[in-house]
A and B are shown apart, each in its own frame.
Chain A
Amino acid sequence: MSRPVYLVDGARTPFLKARGTPGPFTPVDLAVQCGRPLLARQPFDRRAFDLVILGCVNVIQDEMNPARVAALRLGLGAEMVAFTVQINCGSGMQSIDTAYRYIRDGSHEMILAGGAEALSHAPLVLRQSAVEWFGGMAQAKGIAAQAKMLTDLRPEFFKPVVGLERGLTDPITHLNMGQTAEVLAHRFGIDRQTADAYAMQSHHRLARAQSEGWLDSEVMPAFADDGTAYDHDDGVRPDSDMAGLAKPKPAFERPYGKVTAGNASQITDGASWVIVASEAAVEKHGLTPLARIVDSEWAALDPSVMGLGPVLASTPIAQRQGLSLSDIDLWELNEAFAAQVLSCVEAWADEAFCRDVLGLETAFGRIDAERLNIDGGAISLGHPVGASGNRIVLHLANALKRLGKTRGIATECIGGGLGGAMMLEVA
């Protein structure tokens, strides 16, 4: 049994740039902030869902299984089954994909699928050496043993590590995510200026989308307890220019690297939900879907070149669906790094790569810049890792509808050497 599956509606919070201290919202707070208005504008009772799935990478201690905590706080009822999924930067898309497959296969009718991340809440963690020392001290019996332990005390024990820094380091290769982008920039010949120009365009495109009101039904204002209303993605720099982007030093590989804070995705907090429904649910509740989920794919590759994940995940969909590059009207390719996005574009345009790696007879083709991330992306609006995959699917659906286009792919690279992709067609 394979049933049509619809993306009915969706909403997200503004993506809020982390500014050094924990932001006003936890992952579940964020999920509640955008979930409430999304549910409030539906014609059906919020208990009508069969399931809640939430992607979240950095779950905080107070919110284990954030999907369930969010479901209860959103008033979906004590009987709502809810689970959390984690596949790094693909988590928010994994939730949609799981919902898609459950509904396609007939076990569920309507699922709330989201992603939430509060990177500003990443904990400070003790170094392993310090953890071992504290453990030894606790076990030391008698003054002599304790005095001996004291001589092992090192100043660096008290210098905690930001958990986020470790989270963004690949455990197999020990390369930071930014370094994997440096690897790609080198392999595909992306220079600093090209990466910066791409970043500038991302800011300009997001600023235009904001001022044109194209995000009005997608971005719901979030209200903090202190009375602050957050109504837009606040990492955007509408006046971004090449001179400004030329200033920052390389962030990961000094002094010669090409990846800077300016041409990489921003560290932000945010959440996003979409409603995924069967045809029966759409009819029962009288819904007007935004799009139909046509296909999805996950792929894996060497962790040190994880940035090519979108190429490996998207191509099989095009092949299965018998589509060529020109059939795909819009692309949401998550902007982890400008150099990484541009490397994906280059890989698809490279005949040898397409032949050897993707098994195509010729180059897939060069994606038209006017079809790629047309309203900006993670470089301008940030990358709350668990939420981004959800956001790009939602935005793709909204953009297809707004422009009257037919078909698009949302895809992301995933730390650890993975890629995820999902194809939508307008409903």
Chain B
Amino acid sequence: MTKSVLELRNLRKAYGALAVTDDVSLSVHPGELHAIIGPNGAGKTTLIHQISGLLPSDSGEIIFDGEDVTRLPMHQRVRRGLARSFQITSILPGFSALENVALAVQARSGSSFRFFGHAARERALNEPAMDCLNLVDLGARAQIMAGLLSHGEKRQLELSIALATEPKLLLLDEPLAGTGQEESQRVVETLRRLKSHTTIVLIEHDMDAVFSLADRVSVLVNGRLIATDTPERIRANAEVRAAYLGEEEAV
């Protein structure tokens, strides 16, 4: 049996009496792309916030790479190799695309308490950053102000930033959200390429993308995981169909 990269044990987050995630246990294997699907309001984004450390968990444990990170703040989880993207694009709009990524490289290479030297001219930062940009096909747009990129490019950029932190695990919160047909095709291609680089946990509404990319799929309904299995079996799972897929198709 392979050791899991990420293991969630009985994770829970509640607002007052309303449990948004409840008793979530999940194990993510090294190298897999693990998709989490579920209807709107199932608690998917909350779960990602809990794993990444943006939201504290009420109870349960998060074991990442063999270490209990449940109580660590977000930035320390990132340093241990847990990167994430956001559902609503989160970049530095006033920085060039290259600088957005170079900052992520900077975060993991050497101290940032350096008060002299021109950071934007450091090759040791810019070259790895350029590699990450090329990986998502943004190399040609490196000098463009990030805020001026198209929506699809911003999503690509966010992936690139996450990659630049050299993650052992990448948490992606709806990377296709708001992208058009053509753009989403490009993001899916990028994700397919990233699969060979790192382990990925993906939240996504686009079922075509999920079923074509995922090695395993977990289904979250009302804050609880009701199934985890291969895409084929999930598709065939009666409970899942009843709770989620059927409902979608009926619409």
A, B: real partners: no
A-side residues, CB < 8 A to B, are none
